[in-house]
Amino acid sequence: MVFLCLDNYQYKYLENAVQVVDIESQRRDFCKFRWYFRKIKRIEAEKKLLLPENDHGAFLIRDSESRHNDYSLSVRDGDTVKHYRIRQLDEGGFFIARRTTFRTLPELVEHYSKDADGLCVNLCKPCVQVEKPQPEGLSHRTRDQWEIDRTSLKFVRKLGHGQFGEVWEGQWNNTTPVAIKTLKPGTMDPKDFLAEAQIMKKLRHQKLIQLYAVCTMEEPIYIITELMKNGSLLEYLQGKGKGLKHDGGTDLYHYGINEERFAAGIPAG
């Protein structure tokens, strides 16, 4: 058996016959189910499931972040969220544990709704789909659905510091890697610091760093974002990224751009 994955198509070679599965078409079909949340990240799934509107056993299914044609099942277990990978069979179908397979995702959901069968809990109601607010005046006195408990954060390693605060590599709920940007109390108006988060709330794109959460109810104030796996842009350009070329293959200096000076002009964090 050989798999090829090209763009949105999965090609399966089975005994000299070629089957083509349009992954995007499959996923569009799942959109009619309340439990399917498409391309949300693991940390977003946890935030949604832990909202007070959801009870023990609430669940959702989302696209896998690491495997193009797989899915992930996220289930609320008390005050925590458990995650399970849903794999696709070569000949079609789905499974969490290979001993129990299903022809369709709805059949998988129906089975685990009746019997936990190895999961932490039976699947109950689909996660409530709450529309995110578009706050216009986020301040240190304003709690919204981006706010998380600061005790859920673990500081792992300091990545950098500046006049107004520090940037740390950390973990959320001991599972999800994040970047934590802190504001030193008394160094600047919290409203100015949080203006960055306010902008990031409106910018959602796979090529941009994603805002995950904020801690604004007491000082120091935190902005929690996606962790950049290559670290500081300036340090990357000075090291592995030296001689960086754009998509056309031309060195940036051809355009009169000094990439290190450009990166140095970007505020830390």
Pick out the residues of the known binding site.
181
Listing DSSP states for the chain in one string gives -EEEEETTEEEEEETTEEEEEEHHHHHHHHTTSTTB--S--HHHHHHHHTSTT--TT-EEEEE-SS-TT-EEEEEEETTEEEEEEEEEPTTS-EESSTTSEESSHHHHHHHHHH--TTSSS---SBPP-PPPP--S---TT---TTB--GGGEEEEEEEEE-SS-EEEEEEETTTEEEEEEE--TTSS-HHHHHHHHHHHHH---TTSPPEEEEE-SSSSPEEEEE--TT--HHHHHHTTTTT-B-TTS-BGGGGT--HHHHHHTSPP-
Instruction: Specify binding-site residues for ATP.
Output: 181
